[in-house]
Amino acid sequence: MHRRKGKNLYLYAKDEPNPFPHWFDAKKSYEQALNFLSFEKFRLRHLQVLEELLKVCSALGNKQAFQRRLEEGTQRLEQLVRECESKREEITLARKFAAFDQLRVDIRLQSNNINKEIAALELAEKRKNTCLAWLREGWDYQPPQFSYKDMQKLLNPKTAAIYWHISPVAITTFIIKHNQPPKLLQPQLPRELQQQHYPANFHQLERFEGWMQKWKQGYQDYCQGNYTSAAKETAPWRQDMEDMLLNQLRDILEIHRLRDYLKDVDHLILIPHRELHLLPLDYLFPERFTITYLPSFQIGLKLLAQPFSQPLGDDSPNIVNVGNSELPFANIESVALASLYPGCRQLQIPPVKQKALIDALRENTGLFHFTGHGDHIPEQPRESFLMLAEPDKLTLGDIVDDDELDLSQYQLICLSACETGITSQESLVDEYVGLVSGFLAKGANYVVSTLWRVDERSTAILMIKFYQLLKERESPAAALKQAKNWLRQLTYEALAKWYCDLAKELYVPVCREYLETEAQIIENDPDKMTSTQPVYAHPYYWAGFILTGKPV
């Protein structure tokens, strides 16, 4: 009863002009709940109540109570972890109460001391790499110590990193530049709340959580809706994506203020946390930046230390190309890749099975292109998979546990048409670990992935253009950026010409004929041929493609 009362008072206060009296009452209720739900009798319940109490202490700005309760919770969690009978049980418990580690980052930031800020960033990085280490079966080690000096090795005067950390009480944005101490982007309150001393970090996090819930619900409705192809374009999630959703996210994360610190920078490394991994953060930044993502600094440094690989512009035969021949444009995508890189290893879904794909990845080097479905399982990341011939799958566990599978000779893993599992309504309480992280952990230099269920036709067009640019010896980061900009400006007239030019390069007659027919359909429509409106200007078609991997 006291716990429920505390929770309701905490939530009720958010909508009140002066929330503090209600938060004080919530604190008292939670403390009474802790007295009844003692750690000796109700271990897990006690820790859950303690987590909720810490939110209230943070909102009140009660630093002493916050620190005391956090130390109490951390020690009791460590005691429970020591008593676990298996590594799986230990990991499950640590993930369930990840908030205690996250709040330890926040407490280091309360002193406005540069050494404390560096320590907070190092602690956030340690947690990320601990979660990545959990990918392996039988995990039994902590990741090596990783310092701010190590992070600097990924940067140069023209490259900076934006590092986000989300806890139950704040979104922290670190701006990390070459040979400079980290800068913190402190959130700003809207004018109407400034007089009330409302916590700015609380307000920003509350807005983000509300936005994220709306984004997930909209996408879930979109995926489950029985839309025709034409009706999908007017579905609320797609219709609202640009103006209402992504521009709101830009405002919540205060990207306009970040730009003031980045005037002398051309390349950005984005290191998201928790649910930020599910979002096209590069879309929020000005086009002048070339952007890559990383799961952690440590992964980036590991990739940077690998021997230099030959550019993908070379006619390398060592390519594994897994395609789906049942979809016309997916088939064209596979055939176009084979035309660009003669001698590549072609595998089809169906009938390809897991063992055949693993064998092909072991035997080849250079590039792995997958056109098919994938899914992420947040609660059990090792079960995340690429779907092969049903019910066969290639799971993340299969990839990371195979000691004979060395992906360090793969310049690029391209997961075309996969999605991350954003449909889950559960919040990600700990670090996001998915297929992309697994491929990078095994040494792949870059991974292209998609953040939502994409359109078959526009995806094939984008991917083919991307590989054409790689063939011209562009870097993967530059090639993806140029391909996305090209697609968003493509008119029907230019598309018809591109279809005809591509058809001449394909060796499969049925694919050539299909493209020539598509070009004729456009050319026979005067409205399309005279239109200056780009066909794929909407961010749905291109913003969901991101590149994760080695910094420039």
259-277 burial by CB neighbour count: b if 16+ within 10 A, else e?
A: eeebeebebbbbbbbbbbb
Residue 360 and residue 344: Cα distance in Å, rounded? 11
Q: Tell me, what DSSP letter sits at residue 156? A: B
Q: Which amino acid is at 90?
A: E
- The domains of the chain are located at 2-83, 148-297, 304-549
**Ramachandran assignment for 549, one of left (phi > 0), alpha (psi -120 to 50 degrees), beta (any other):** left
CATH, domain range 304-549: 3.40.50
Dihedral sign of CA atoms 337, 341, 342, 345 in order: negative
CB burial of residue 426 (10 Å; 0-12, 13-18, 19+)? exposed
**Residue 64 contacts by C-beta under 8 Å, 6 or more apart in sequence?**
none
The model's pTM is 0.94
CA nearest neighbour of 307 among 158, 413, 399, 410: 410
Q: With beta carbons less than 8 A apart as the criterion, state whether 332 and 518 touch.
A: no
**Residue 522 contacts by C-beta under 8 Å, 6 or more apart in sequence?**
492, 493, 495, 496, 499, 528, 529
Q: With beta carbons less than 8 A apart as the criterion, state whether 158 and 267 touch.
A: yes
Note the pLDDT tens digit of each residue in 492-510.
999 999 999 999 999 899 9
Q: 342: how many CB neighbours lie within 10 A of its CB?
A: 11
Quote the pLDDT of residue 148: 95
Mean pLDDT by 10 residues, the chain (552 residues): 96 86 96 95 96 94 93 95 89 92 93 91 93 70 78 95 96 96 92 74 93 92 84 90 91 93 95 94 95 94 79 67 83 90 84 91 88 82 88 90 87 81 65 88 92 92 96 93 98 98 93 96 97 96 95 77
State which H helix or E strand residue 103 sits in: helix 98-108
Quote the pLDDT of residue 518: 97
Quote the pLDDT of residue 229: 78
Q: 344: how many CB neighbours lie within 10 A of its CB?
A: 21
Q: Name the token pair of 319.
A: 């390519």
Quote the pLDDT of residue 97: 95
Residue 321 and residue 121: Cα distance in Å, rounded? 39
**Residue 15 contacts by C-beta under 8 Å, 6 or more apart in sequence?**
none
Quote the pLDDT of residue 431: 87
